[in-house]
Amino acid sequence: GIEVDPSKIEAVSKWDTPRSAADVRSFLGLAGYYRRFIEGFSKIAQPLTVISHS
């Protein structure tokens, strides 16, 4: 089956706290890789998506 790449898990867990809308967009770009693995990802990411558009 499909498995999550351990190096991507490490990248997300070590990501610095976003300080700007651009930082949030970058994080969402990386985290978007997990859409297929996380049920309801869009609902979880929705607050960050709102921030990224400000």
* Torsion sign, CA atoms 17, 21, 27, 32: positive
* 37 contacts 4 by C-beta, under 8 angstroms: yes
20-49 pLDDT, tens per residue?
999 999 999 988 888 888 899 999 999 999
Mean pLDDT, residues 5-31: 89
In terms of DSSP H, where are the helices of 1-54? Answer: 6-13, 21-31, 41-52
Whether pTM exceeds 0.85: no
Q: What local confidence, expressed as pLDDT, does residue 22 receive?
A: 94
